[in-house]
Amino acid sequence: MSQPTHETTSIGRYLVDRIGGLGVEHVFGIPGDYVLGLYKLLEESPIKLVGTTREDNAGYAADAYARVRGLGCVCVTYCVGGLSCANSVAGAFAEKSPVIVLSGSPGIGERARNPLLHHKVKTFETQFDVFQHITAASAVLDRPETAFAEIDRVLDAALRYKRPVYLELPRDLVHAVPGAPHRRRETVQASDPDALREALDEAEAMLTSAKRPMILADVEIHRFHLQDDLIELAESTGMPIATTILGKSVVSEAHPLFAGVYEGAMGRPEVTKLVESSDCLLMLGCFLTDINLGIFTAKLDPSRCIDATSEDLRIRRHHYRDVRLDDFIRGLIERRLVVAKAPVPPRASPFAEVEMGPGDSAATSSKVFSRINRLLVETTGTTVIADVGDSLFGAADLEMERRTEFLSPAYYTSMGFGVPAAVGANLANPASRVVVIVGDGAFQMTGMELSTIARHGFNPIVVILNNHGYTTERFMLEGSFNDVYNWEYHRIPEVLGAGRGFEVRTVAELDDALARAWENTSGFSLLNVHLDKMDHSPALERLATRMGEMVRKKGDDR
């Protein structure tokens, strides 16, 4: 239990101190009159304010920061700021990324007789009502006597559930002092010892009797920083590890027990076969989403699964309540399990079959990913951020040799994540070089966050797959609505007065641009890679082929 706070600490100061004490060193956002007082306190603290071009981009940056560092924060003004970042916060909620949302609001004294103050929507509670649906905990700090306890409760929820939380502070209470001392209480939820023991007994019996046990690891291993425990469990038992696309890079993909990325029909056949033929699949921190399951082309039998997450534990069809994910994994390690060794299939380079052709041959998606993969293999300390669409599908095959260096909104799939996420990733881990892969449609949504990147002197490499539209959707239903107006993307550095731009149409130009971009450490590099509008990655080809087979089979069954 911590010591009580000083009786002269204001609500705003306590809030800033608590966030800083949790390891948040940067706060993203855009100032506005309702939040200026809080911004001033942040500026006067050790925390650094990072201004972005749009509030939704601030949310994406805070999300990426949280994925790398464990906790992120966005600070915005009332309604026009808060509601603008609602989509990026919703994505963080969907994918379990703990982002603290701080919002200013009209002062309590200004609200008498319900005046029509600027930024207001419907009622003074409208923004709070919205964020209650997309956060794990929320509070309006409108009562000084309970404000400190509410801050503690909400921040504890961010750490416990690894999801966004929301705190709204009326501007006339930023400097309000509650008066009475406050004693912060630690609220750590322990596992039920009986439930934990019974779950471990059943899991041990299932694993030790299996002939082909293996591990499927996912996003919560990232969020709860359980990578070391995962590796210890795998190495002590010899069980292979596959990951989902949302959990990609949760372990080094150079580890001898890493089997590959499992994504149903989108995945490589040998990985799909290994996972789906396992007679005991230990699923750790998994989200069973349509993307993780290859648009529901996966075939996982619940009777052969141990499914452990931070919120639930299922073994076959038995449910165990109040068992923490970390306690369950460590309990398995402590039992020193002896299990059958399932062979890990040999991992050939996923791009070994890509024919680059002569230097003057046209650039294609497969060639772009092949060259990016070579860059990753030949260098160290690189974070890949894949935006939505074929940028994500193609990047699933990239070989990530270090852990937690692949970021993507692989479940919520909100286009435009990539470039603003580079801001957060650069600040969260300055030692890692960022490579952003983004389609032209997604870039047009948020790509001018390059302005913030230029302002701070960051040096990401941004690869734009310029195929003149939404190619993934063209495979679903073609129409002019999938077309995107062509920009001269490589000339954007001229507008910003920073960075370097490269236009790429051929293999030779691709190789030259990537080499020069990697050498350019003084600012960002932007590659405008021209592709045919129907060009696509091998992963999307695998998915389209498999789904076509399914459609034809259903037709034959009628």
Residues 508 and 231: beta-carbon distance below 8 Å: no
| Average pLDDT of the segment spanning 114-135 | 85
Q: How confident is the model over 423-469, as pLDDT tens digits?
A: 999 999 999 999 999 999 999 999 999 999 999 999 999 999 999 98
Q: Of the candidates 173, 165, 115, which has an alpha carbon nearest to the alpha carbon of residue 142?
A: 173
Question: Please, are residues 15 and 102 in contact by the beta-carbon 8 Å criterion?
Answer: yes
* Mean pLDDT of all residues in 371-399: 91
Return all residues near 302 (Cβ < 8 A) that are at least 6 apart: 314, 316, 317
Is 488 a residue whose pLDDT tops 70? yes
- 147-202: per-residue pLDDT in tens? 999 999 999 999 999 999 999 999 999 999 998 888 887 667 889 999 999 999 99
| Domains with residue ranges and CATH for the chain | 11-173 (3.40.50.970), 193-334 (3.40.50.1220), 365-541 (3.40.50.970)
pLDDT digits (tens, 9 = 90+) for 58-89: 999 999 999 999 999 999 999 889 999 999 99
Residue 3 predicted with pLDDT over 90: no
What pLDDT does 295 receive?
45
| Sign for the pseudo-dihedral over CA of 326, 332, 336, 339 | negative
pLDDT at 556 over 60: no
Does the pLDDT value for residue 550 go beyond 80? no
Point out the least confidently predicted range of 81-95, 323-337, 349-363.
349-363
Q: What is the DSSP letter of 499?
A: S
What percentage of the chain has pLDDT greater than the value 90? 68
Distance in Å from the first CA to the final CA of the chain: 66
Over pLDDT 70: what percentage of the chain? 92
How far are the Cα atoms of 256, 420, 421, 455 from residue 52, in angstroms, in the given order?
41, 8, 11, 10
What is the pLDDT, as a whole number, of residue 551?
47
55-69 and 418-428 helices, crossing angle to 10°: 40
pTM over cut 0.75: yes
Q: What SS3 state is found at 528?
A: strand
Instruction: Supply the pLDDT for residue 482.
Output: 86
